């Protein structure tokens, strides 16, 4: 029971705010509402979350409620939410924001997200939490609405920047906060200057390149928490990505960061079933593949010892396992830069082979899979040319499909997602197009071609294997026999065992671009310095074992 004095105070405050002309409506029911509002404001702790009484259409999972309570109770509203992909960081942020709003501790709230996710955040806050969030579009909107969702790219430009920095924000939420890893960037400096009482930084990859990035993020929340950068390096870093005392650093991080993982019992997701679909190239495809590999080996040998970029070679090696259409794009670029008549002649021969391929084994397999699976399916490819080719073939076979890629504006991405959910059977997405989208209404995925970085493959699967998924997830990885692609599938699924064991344990390298780039170069070197498929298989298997051994021993793969 609340003290009579508190009830009297609440009742008096209520009467003072009700117009005299409405005195006949001052009944007990309305008084109760006033009392509850005053009661919420008088509560000193956050043991009971009033936000749970105001959510709509869903029930938060225990780890989400625990995270919100921990942020409110012990972290005082300033925290990094670093859950793994798909565990509901947006829900946690919504619970925290709603709790502060209900208690009257926050009114002005700013959410900054990638442009492609602005509308998604707006919908989540309105539909699930009853928070009247508005997507910022014009400069005048900053001062007219209390809860705004905007892109950081917009906020940091004038005239928006001056307006945002001139306002007092109660709560600032930054999604994809790993993009603030460099304190010299305009993004970091902008966020650092926004006046705020509470701040949440959301990222599944709090570290991408080195441990100092953690220091940079924490400085936004609590300057001096880990000392100066120099002090942090001396006290906590054995190398740029290895802690002197991991347990001690983890203890310090717990004062400002919360990370829930799939394998620690934070949540129970439906099972995922990953299957490698092994294919045999037809004669035309095999001739083209062998011709490209020989061309790559010759080019690689010529470039050894030079400072010429091997990126085009990596790209072409991967494209030829995707489709002739993708390979032609790089071959044409190489032809423009080629200087020797012999090189031009080789490229012309390969282009002719690309055009001569009449039947495409992967496409035929995809069409068979879609027919067998029924229901909705996402197809991931690395390359725009392959995406266009897939769309054309699906259209010819009267399979309703929509494309999805990074170059689309956020309104078009939302439109494509809605079309996929309501009308189309297939969504054909590129790597960049798959960032930040939630597609739990689909539970089937075909990886038409594979990234060589296991983290990126996990991020793809995370688009459908996430909270809200109600069905077992089926993933099919297409791989052609007797090519490097076939051995990469074995490496990713068996040697690294990423699907069951690795992802989630690699706190310090998840999403690390340096790791991915190094892995691609090492695999290319193996592929182009090996003369037989059996030897290629052996060397990639050995590479996987060495990598797995280092990961399991707690080291980094570099």
Burial 216-234 (b: 16+ CB within 10 A, else e): bbbbbbeeeebeeeeebbe
- Higher-confidence residue of 444 and 7: namely 444
Judged against a pLDDT cut of 90, whether residue 549 lies above it is answered with no
Q: Where are the alpha helices (DSSP H) in 283-406?
A: 283-303, 311-319, 324-337, 341-356, 361-373, 384-396
Do 405 and 433 meet the contact criterion of CB atoms below 8 Å apart?
Answer: yes
Judged against a pLDDT cut of 70, whether residue 171 lies above it is answered with yes
CATH topology (fold) of 272-278+359-552: Rossmann fold (3.40.50)
pLDDT digits (tens, 9 = 90+) for 255-268: 898 888 776 655 67
pLDDT of 461 reads: 85
Minimum mean pLDDT among 187-201, 277-291, 455-469, 487-501: which range?
Answer: 487-501
pLDDT of 510 reads: 37
- Residue 12 pLDDT grade (very low, low, confident, very high; cuts 50, 70, 90): low
pLDDT digits (tens, 9 = 90+) for 44-101: 566 788 899 889 888 888 889 999 999 999 999 999 998 877 788 999 999 999 999 9
The burial class, CB within 10 Å (0-12 / 13-18 / 19+), for 431 is middle
pLDDT of 251 reads: 82
Q: 202: Cβ–Cβ under 8 A, 6 or more apart, which residues?
A: 80, 81, 82, 89, 90, 93, 173, 174, 175, 176, 177
- Higher-confidence residue of 47 and 383: namely 383
pLDDT of 15 reads: 55
- CA of 330: how far to CAs of 44, 334, 335, 357, 479, in Å? 63, 6, 9, 17, 21
Judged against a pLDDT cut of 60, whether residue 5 lies above it is answered with no
Average pLDDT of span 377-386 = 93
Query: Token pair of 391, please?
Result: 């769309």
Q: Any bridge partners for residue 201, and if so which?
A: 80, 174
Judged against a pLDDT cut of 60, whether residue 7 lies above it is answered with no
How many residues does the structure list for the chain? Answer: 558
The burial class, CB within 10 Å (0-12 / 13-18 / 19+), for 202 is buried
pLDDT digits (tens, 9 = 90+) for 353-380: 999 999 999 999 999 999 999 899 999 9
* Domains of the chain, residue spans: 1-42, 54-264, 272-278+359-552, 284-356
Judged against a pLDDT cut of 90, whether residue 252 lies above it is answered with no
Residue appearing with tokens 């688009």: 463
pLDDT of 42 reads: 58
What DSSP state is assigned to residue 474?
E
Distance from C-alpha of 222 to C-alpha of 174, rounded to nearest angstrom: 15
The burial class, CB within 10 Å (0-12 / 13-18 / 19+), for 63 is buried
pTM of the model: 0.64
Distance from C-alpha of 434 to C-alpha of 104, rounded to nearest angstrom: 38
What's the whole-number average pLDDT of the chain? 82
- CA of 186: how far to CAs of 17, 223, 371, 396, in Å? 45, 18, 49, 47
Asked if the bond preceding 159 is cis, omega within 30° of 0, the reply is yes
pLDDT of 276 reads: 84
Judged against a pLDDT cut of 60, whether residue 531 lies above it is answered with yes
- Residue 491 pLDDT grade (very low, low, confident, very high; cuts 50, 70, 90): confident
Do 238 and 244 meet the contact criterion of CB atoms below 8 Å apart?
Answer: yes
Domain 54-264 maps to which CATH number in 2.60.120.620, 3.40.50.10810, 3.40.50.2300, 3.30.70.20? Answer: 3.40.50.10810
What DSSP state is assigned to residue 435?
T
Classify 499 in phi/psi space as left (phi over 0), alpha (psi -120 to 50) or beta: alpha
pLDDT of 555 reads: 46
Residue 168: CB atoms within 10 A of its CB come to 10
Do 361 and 279 meet the contact criterion of CB atoms below 8 Å apart?
Answer: yes
pLDDT of 497 reads: 46
Are the folds of 54-264 and 272-278+359-552 the same? Answer: yes
pLDDT of 149 reads: 96
Query: Token pair of 338, please?
Result: 């080629």
- Higher-confidence residue of 550 and 238: namely 238
pLDDT digits (tens, 9 = 90+) for 451-468: 777 667 777 888 888 877
Judged against a pLDDT cut of 50, whether residue 506 lies above it is answered with no
pLDDT of 40 reads: 58
Task: Give the whole-number percent of the chain exceeding pLDDT 70.
Answer: 80
- Higher-confidence residue of 493 and 220: namely 220
- Residue 500 pLDDT grade (very low, low, confident, very high; cuts 50, 70, 90): very low
- Higher-confidence residue of 489 and 464: namely 464
Judged against a pLDDT cut of 50, whether residue 548 lies above it is answered with yes
pLDDT digits (tens, 9 = 90+) for 204-227: 777 766 778 888 888 999 988 888
pLDDT digits (tens, 9 = 90+) for 300-326: 877 765 655 667 787 888 888 889 999
Distance from C-alpha of 71 to C-alpha of 505, rounded to nearest angstrom: 23
pLDDT of 524 reads: 79
pLDDT of 305 reads: 58
pLDDT of 324 reads: 92
Query: Token pair of 120, please?
Result: 């998604």
Residue 404: CB atoms within 10 A of its CB come to 24
pLDDT of 111 reads: 97
Backbone angles phi, psi at 481, to 5 degrees: -65, 150
pLDDT digits (tens, 9 = 90+) for 132-151: 999 999 999 999 999 999 99
- Residue 37 pLDDT grade (very low, low, confident, very high; cuts 50, 70, 90): low
Three-state secondary structure readout of 38-80:
HHHHHCCCCCCCHHHHCCCCCCCCHHHHHHHHHHHHCCCCEEE
pLDDT of 498 reads: 39
Q: 116: Cβ–Cβ under 8 A, 6 or more apart, which residues?
A: 410, 413, 435, 436, 437
pLDDT of 266 reads: 54
Q: 287: Cβ–Cβ under 8 A, 6 or more apart, which residues?
A: 353
């Amino acid at each position: 029971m609340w003290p009579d004095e508190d009830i009297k105070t609440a009742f008096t405050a209520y009467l003072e705010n009700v117009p005299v002309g409405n005195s006949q409506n001052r009944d007990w029911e309305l008084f109760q509402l006033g009392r509850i509002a005053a009661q919420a404001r008088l509560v000193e702790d956050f043991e009971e979350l009033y936000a749970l009484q105001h959510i709509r259409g869903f029930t938060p999972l225990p780890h989400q409620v625990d995270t919100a309570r921990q942020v409110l109770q012990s972290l005082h509203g300033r925290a990094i939410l670093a859950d793994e992909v798909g565990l509901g960081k947006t829900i946690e942020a919504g619970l925290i924001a709603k709790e502060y709003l209900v208690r009257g501790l926050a009114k002005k709230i700013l959410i900054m997200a990638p442009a492609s996710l602005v509308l998604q955040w707006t919908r989540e806050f309105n539909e699930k939490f009853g928070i009247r969030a508005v997507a910022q579009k014009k400069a005048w909107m900053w001062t007219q609405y209390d809860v705004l969702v905007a892109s950081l790219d917009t906020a940091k430009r004038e005239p928006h920047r001056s307006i945002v920095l001139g306002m007092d924000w109660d709560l600032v939420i930054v999604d994809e906060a790993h993009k603030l890893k460099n304190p010299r960037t305009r993004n970091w400096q902008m966020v650092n200057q926004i006046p705020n009482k509470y701040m949440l930084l959301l990222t599944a990859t709090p570290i991408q390149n080195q441990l100092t990035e953690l220091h940079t993020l924490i400085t936004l929340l609590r300057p001096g928490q880990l000392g100066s950068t120099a002090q942090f390096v001396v006290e906590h870093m054995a190398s740029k990505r290895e802690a002197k005392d991991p347990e001690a650093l983890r203890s310090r991080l717990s004062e400002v960061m919360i990370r829930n993982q799939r394998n620690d019992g934070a949540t129970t997701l439906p099972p995922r079933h990953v299957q490698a679909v092994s294919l045999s190239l037809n004669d035309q495809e095999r001739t083209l593949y062998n011709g490209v590999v020989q061309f790559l080996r010759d080019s690689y040998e010529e470039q050894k010892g030079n400072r010429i970029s091997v990126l085009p070679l990596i790209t072409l090696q991967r494209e030829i396992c995707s489709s002739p259409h993708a390979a032609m794009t790089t071959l044409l670029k190489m032809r423009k830069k080629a200087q020797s008549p012999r090189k031009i002649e080789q490229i012309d021969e390969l282009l002719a082979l690309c055009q001569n391929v009449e039947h495409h084994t992967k496409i035929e397999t995809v069409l068979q899979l879609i027919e067998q699976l029924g229901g909705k399916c996402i197809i991931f490819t690395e390359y725009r040319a392959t995406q266009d080719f897939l769309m054309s073939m699906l259209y010819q076979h009267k399979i309703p499909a929509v494309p999805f890629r990074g170059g689309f504006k956020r309104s078009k991405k939302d439109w494509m997602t809605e079309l996929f959910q309501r009308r189309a059977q297939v969504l054909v997405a590129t790597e960049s197009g798959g960032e930040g989208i939630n597609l739990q209404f689909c539970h089937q995925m075909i990886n038409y071609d594979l990234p060589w970085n296991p983290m990126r493959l996990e991020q793809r699967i995370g688009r459908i294997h996430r909270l809200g998924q109600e069905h077992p997830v089926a993933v099919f990885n297409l791989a052609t026999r007797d090519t490097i692609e076939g051995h990469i599938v074995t490496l990713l699924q068996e040697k690294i065992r990423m699907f069951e064991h690795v992802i989630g344990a690699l706190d310090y390298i998840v999403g690390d671009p340096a790791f991915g780039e190094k892995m691609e170069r090492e695999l290319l070197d193996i592929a182009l310095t090996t003369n037989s498929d059996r030897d290629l298989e052996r060397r990639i298997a050995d590479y996987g074992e060495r990598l797995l051994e280092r990961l399991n021993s707690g080291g980094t793969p570099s």
